[in-house]
Chain A
Amino acid sequence: MAEPCPSSGSEELTDSEGSAYSGLQDSGSDSSSSDEEEEQEEGPGGGSVPRTRAKGAPRKRKTLEDDSSLEESKALLAQNEYEEDSSDEEDIRNTVGNIPMEWYQDFPHIGYDLEGKKIYKPIRNKDELDMFLEKMENPDYWRTVQDKMTGADIKLTDEQIDLVQRLQRGQFGDVHFNPYEPAVDFFTHEVMIHPVTNRPADKRSFIPSLIEKEKVSKLVHAIKMGWIKPRKPKDDTPTYYDLWAHEDPNSILGRHKMHVPAPKMKLPGHEESYNPPPEYLLSEEERLAWEQQEPAERRLSFVPRQHRSLRAVPAFPRFIHERFERCLDLYLCPRQRKMRVNVDPEDLIPKLPKPRDLQPFPTTQALVYRGHTSLVRCLSISPSGQWLVSGSDDGSVRFWEVSTARCMRTLPVGGVVKSLAWNPNPSICLVAICVEQSVLLVNPCLGDKLLYGATDQLLESYVPPEEERVQPVRWVTATAEEHGRGIRLLVQHSKAVKQVTWHGKGDYFASVVSDNSNMQVLIHQSSKRWSQNPFRRSKGLVQCVLFHPIRPYFFVATQRYVRVYNLLKQELTKKLMSNCKWVSSMAIHPGGDNIICGSYDSKLAWFDLDLSTRPYQLLRHHKRALRSVAFHRRYPLFASGSDDGTVIVCHGMVYNDLLQNPLLVPVKVLKGHALTLDLGVLDVLFHPTQPWVFSSGADGTIRLYT
């Protein structure tokens, strides 16, 4: 084992005389390492240490550098190279194994020797200054390395340094190895006349091979069956040629008849420029809003930015995305031809006759009748057009002179006045007023004394019949005190009365009771003080009733329908569908063939009785619920008052020619009433002879528009 190493000349064997064979890096012997060291690369790393050791003890060292450098010594150790092969012979003083040595950093020792005793770190009391001094003074400082296993300093020999340098240069570690040996041609390229061997050919080389035959037959079969295709000849046709050489514009496939070509991408606007005008840049708020929007909602898919120069423009990060999305659009988006309506909005506005040509109609507010302290629910006018009567929630009825807006009389009735109606007969001066459960017949004692005197006489001339008839209501003559105030008769109902309306002749009047039974509508005859209930069954909540001006018809409006009854035949003639949710009011054209219905869902339905039971036209002029509608007795005008505080006057021309439909043109929007409690205009009324309209509002005023 202890083998004297034939060391190369220049080094001194300082460590031990017996270190015939030590690691290269040993300060002692350098190049005298052997193959074995290659096998022990996995041994403890780090440099080996020059050590003194027992004589004859086999040495094994790890080299600091690569072991391949040791090859040069191989030749020298040709004999007996396996002699010291066993690893247990190794002299490893430190037994910690191949571990990172920094684990022992904080300990005073550096490992354990074979007996398990701690190996202490060499005492080093070098500080920075010492180090520096050594660096400056020691000429060998550059070749000193520290052994991590023992912590001792090792000085590298010249040989070792040479080896390191050679390896760094990428040369062979062995100085004597020649990589450029001359090539030896074992077989010449020249053809010899004699064979290399003189062996006769085998017999099998003369017999056809069965295996090969089988293979060939398989191939032949495969070719026959078409499993193996012969090599295709190269296609020589050019890739691109004139594809549209014989184009035929008529050769469009059937499928293409419906073909919708893909729309082109939108062309960019100024805001997409790399240097847009400053107004196209987003402000701070706009940018925040943009960020908060969903990507699908954004009008711009990018934030406009300004760059000072072209070199500052970065790549657009979503470029590939946009192309991809375009691809998806092209093959996944359903395509549809959309007809773009290209109309001038002015053309959509219907051509109507100009309101100026349809005069007269009320245009301006002329008078305001003040006096009521609460909302004025109802209005009525005398047949002569001289007097106006109004009923209000403050429990009073006021009589006004139309032309002067003077309140002639105030009649306290002690309850909310729901409805009132002046007798349309010019020879009778009588007003019917609904107060709570009774209808008062009042003689206002206005105007011609003869006239109202005659009315009183007419009422007093009543002779009660011999036999008492059963009546749904009670007729009561007014007391003396009441008589003094003008009240002549009281018709006492069982429930609250909400509407009263006169027949055109002025003898009959109808009243509506807020009830659910068949007793809702009652028809009274004032001269005979007699009442009757025309209906056997209730057909729903009656909103209002109306007499036909000429013929014996009677109109009853329930929530959604208007029923027309023939009073003579006592039968239902027609049922008009209003197409509204809740009818509020109704008025009839003086001709008697047309009806308008106002409804709480802000619609006005015009019915032509000759035409159909459905509305001829449904006008949605008002923004809120309609409270009342009215026809003018002479002029082709009608008006509607609504909760939005306006009165809309329309021209409603009815032609005698049955083939021509009525012409409806709105002519004026009259404003003036203030909104109170969300209520605007409560009643509208036309003057019997003049083109004037009265409106009563929730603000306690009555206004006259002329």
Chain B
Amino acid sequence: MGSRVLCPACPGLSGCCGSRCPRGGSTVGCYSPSCLTLITTTRRLCILKGIYPHEPKHKKKVNKGSTAPRTFYLLKDIKFLLHEPIVNKFREYKVFVRKLRKAYGKSEWSTVDRLKDNKPTYKLDHIVKERYPTFVDALRDLDDALSMCFLFSTFPRTGKCHVQTIQLCRRLAVEFLNYVIASRSLRKVFLSIKGIYYQAEVLGQPVTWITPYTFAHDHPTDVDYRVMATFTEFYTTLLGFVNFRLYQSLNLLYPPKIDGQADVELKPAEGKEYAMDSESYLEKLSALSSSLARVVAPTHEEEVELDEFPVEGETAEQMDARKKEQEALEKHKKLFEGLRFFLNREVPREPLAFVIRCFGGQVSWDKSLCIGATYDVSDPSITHQIVDRPQVQQQVVGRYYLQPQWVFDSVNAKLCLPVADYFPGVLLPPHLSPFVTEQEGDYIPPEKLKLLAMQRGEEPGDANEESEEEEEEEEEDSNDKEEEEEEDESEKEEEMKLKKLEEQKTQSNKALPVTVTAGKLRLEDKQRLEQEQQSEEKRLAIMMMKKREKYLYKKIMFGKKRKVREANKLAAKRKAHDAAVKEKKKSKKAQRA
């Protein structure tokens, strides 16, 4: 996205497109200058209606000859805002606030009550429908909505925005998580230093969102929370409707209800009531440990074999590939099927519970940690216990004690990784981003290579050896190169000698120390000659390029070269690092000996 251009002028909603900007027949050519400090209503309207500025084709023309940076809106867009029925609602609200303030000032409490009863409200349903005419459109734009809702749901209940908004955000976020669990549509997870990225495939659309780590926020002062709140207002509406539709598509009840059996299980056994049902509803839901009630009772039908409709022009190979992909996807969905996890106190409960449940695993935690724990630490059927402390004092035989990264790495690798690298206190292997797909010529970290080999079904040990062999080969290669270089140098020396001789011959004919030296047979490398010729041809052709094409060509080549340079740099860094690690190991060994 380009740089943000702001202008100091501040036209209001009504006056902005009247006299100020050129009136013309074409709607596209008319721009209305505007800026950051729009009056609040206009700003809110722009946010809600999704109106954004446009970059004019001829900046000078629309800006009266000046090239100063200004923001330009399409005149049509601003007119479009004026026709929005919600503008009247905003005005009503303004009047309401004024009346209320007056009544308060006069201490007319009955008036205050009456006014409060008739508080004007507005709905954004029609705007959602207008901005996203189809459901798929809405899904495509869900990333920001989800990220924002997840952020707002972690805000404290005081200060920055209304409590209702925070609660609503939390509810919608939890509902969405529950949908993802129920539909098993999570695909990728990534622990970054910013937060946790999730990617789910909802009805064929990739939806990515980020959640912050659960810490108290250090609220910055240079952020306008009103802008964020306005966005959130729209996003909550959108997400609510999307959730409704998604739940409907899975035959789930909306608002979600916890499945009857699970509900019973969730109730604490020792008659001590935790809270009233209505109060603990959201908490139970956000525990993510129980399945949801369906409109139609689920019949445990066997998986229906999907009929296959061969697409025209598709070869058998393509069909096979597609089938294989489908199978892999099904397998990925059942990654943790049959595994029982237990989360220790110190690991982040919600993300782990979410991820494990998304892939069919069962999960529980300490009862004191959160509501919804289904089994105890001492349960013998637990297969994996997620631990994030240097060592575990009392280990139970029959289960793996693993660091949380194992879960995320396994999900990204689409297979249960070997557990040995993830034992508590062990130096973890790097956590790689699942969003990177390396293309030809890009740098691929060795861990990724190993992983790819593993996915292809090779033994990890073999891969190691192979890589070592490769390294050796590389070393040999480099030796070869060096030799070649030496040869080159020798050739050059010869040339120098020849030149000297030539000069002597031409310049000093008087002294004639005629000595005949045996000529050396020089082998001409045909391939090399060929290559040289080709490269020269290319150079000559580049000379003949047109100016514009040459510029483009140079730009492309520059980009390519930069990419290669960066990849080389990374590779060199890795090599240096590995060498340093080896050195350290050696020195340690030496010390021991």
Residues of chain A having any CB pair with chain B under 8 Å: 228-229, 231-232, 235, 239-244, 247-249, 251-253, 255-256, 258, 260-265, 267-270, 272-280, 283, 296, 302, 304-305, 307-311, 313-324, 326-336, 341, 343, 345, 348-350, 352, 354-356, 368, 370, 619-621, 664-669
Report A-chain residues with C-beta under 8 Å of the C-beta of B80: 255
Contact across chains for B134 and A249 when beta carbons are under 8 A apart = yes
Q: Is B82 an interface residue (CB 8 A)?
A: no
9 A-B pairs within 8 Å (CB atoms) are namely A249-B133, A251-B133, A268-B194, A270-B445, A278-B573, A316-B193, A317-B218, A332-B36, A343-B552
Chain B nearest Cβ from A601, distance in angstroms: 14
Report A-chain residues with C-beta under 8 Å of the C-beta of B72: 334
Question: How far apart are the CA atoms of A231 and B118 in the complex, in Å?
Answer: 6
Q: Which of B545, B560, B571 has the most CB of A within 10 A?
A: B545
**Chain B interface residue count: which class?**
35 or more
Question: How far apart are the CA atoms of A242 and B129 in the complex, in Å?
Answer: 11
Report B-chain residues with C-beta under 8 Å of the C-beta of A274: 191-193, 431
With A240-B254, A242-B245 in contact, do A341 and B552 touch (Cβ < 8 Å)?
Answer: yes
Contact across chains for A330 and B52 when beta carbons are under 8 A apart = yes
Question: How far apart are the CA atoms of A355 and B54 in the complex, in Å?
Answer: 50
Chain B nearest Cβ from A228, distance in angstroms: 7
Report B-chain residues with C-beta under 8 Å of the C-beta of A314: 213, 215
7 new A-B pairs (CB below 8 Å) besides A268-B190, A279-B573?
Answer: A228-B114, A232-B117, A277-B574, A310-B404, A315-B213, A330-B52, A334-B54
With A302-B193, A323-B148, A334-B52 in contact, do A240 and B241 touch (Cβ < 8 Å)?
Answer: yes
Contact across chains for A323 and B133 when beta carbons are under 8 A apart = no
Report B-chain residues with C-beta under 8 Å of the C-beta of A229: 118
Chain B nearest Cβ from A312, distance in angstroms: 9
Question: How far apart are the CA atoms of A329 and B2 in the complex, in Å?
Answer: 9
Question: How far apart are the CA atoms of A248 and B141 in the complex, in Å?
Answer: 18
Contact across chains for A267 and B435 when beta carbons are under 8 A apart = yes
Q: Is B208 an interface residue (CB 8 A)?
A: yes
Contact across chains for B388 and A309 when beta carbons are under 8 A apart = yes
Q: Is B228 an interface residue (CB 8 A)?
A: yes
Measured CB to CB, the nearest residue on chain B to A324 is B223
Residues of chain B having any CB pair with chain A under 8 Å: 1-6, 28, 36, 43, 46-47, 50-55, 71-72, 76-77, 80, 114, 117-118, 121, 125, 128-130, 132-135, 138, 140-141, 143-144, 147-148, 151, 190-195, 197, 208, 212-213, 215-220, 222-224, 227-228, 231, 240-241, 243-245, 248, 254, 346-348, 388-389, 403-405, 427-428, 430-433, 435-436, 445-447, 506-507, 533, 536-545, 547, 549, 552-553, 556-557, 560, 570-571, 573-574, 577
Question: How far apart are the CA atoms of A296 and B3 in the complex, in Å?
Answer: 10
Closest 5 CB pairs of A and B: A315-B215, A267-B435, A279-B574, A279-B573, A334-B55
Contact across chains for B46 and A320 when beta carbons are under 8 A apart = no
Contact across chains for B240 and A239 when beta carbons are under 8 A apart = yes
Specify which of A326, A334, A668 is in contact with B71 (CB 8 Å cutoff). A334
Question: How far apart are the CA atoms of A320 and B445 in the complex, in Å?
Answer: 31
Contact across chains for B52 and A244 when beta carbons are under 8 A apart = no
Specify which of A252, A283, A334, A354 is in contact with B133 (CB 8 Å cutoff). A252
Specify which of B5, B50, B135, B545 is in contact with A348 (CB 8 Å cutoff). B545
Question: How far apart are the CA atoms of A220 and B538 in the complex, in Å?
Answer: 94
Measured CB to CB, the nearest residue on chain B to A237 is B123
Contact across chains for B544 and A666 when beta carbons are under 8 A apart = yes
Report A-chain residues with C-beta under 8 Å of the C-beta of B435: 267-269
Q: Which of B36, B141, B241, B540 has the most CB of A within 10 A?
A: B540
Report B-chain residues with C-beta under 8 Å of the C-beta of A262: 52, 141, 144
Question: How far apart are the CA atoms of A235 and B119 in the complex, in Å?
Answer: 12
Question: How far apart are the CA atoms of A459 and B422 in the complex, in Å?
Answer: 105
Contact across chains for B47 and A331 when beta carbons are under 8 A apart = yes
Contact across chains for B71 and A279 when beta carbons are under 8 A apart = no
Measured CB to CB, the nearest residue on chain A to B126 is A243
Report A-chain residues with C-beta under 8 Å of the C-beta of B50: 331
Measured CB to CB, the nearest residue on chain B to A336 is B55
Report B-chain residues with C-beta under 8 Å of the C-beta of A240: 240-241, 243-244, 254
Specify which of A311, A330, A331, A669 is in contact with B540 (CB 8 Å cutoff). A669
Contact across chains for A273 and B544 when beta carbons are under 8 A apart = no
Chain A nearest Cβ from B445, distance in angstroms: 4
Chain B nearest Cβ from A578, distance in angstroms: 17
Chain A nearest Cβ from B436, distance in angstroms: 5
With A231-B117, A278-B577, A310-B348 in contact, do A334 and B2 touch (Cβ < 8 Å)?
Answer: yes
Contact across chains for B553 and A345 when beta carbons are under 8 A apart = yes
Chain A nearest Cβ from B128, distance in angstroms: 6
Contact across chains for B507 and A270 when beta carbons are under 8 A apart = no
Question: How far apart are the CA atoms of A269 and B134 in the complex, in Å?
Answer: 32
Report B-chain residues with C-beta under 8 Å of the C-beta of A277: 430, 432, 445-447, 574
Measured CB to CB, the nearest residue on chain B to A305 is B193
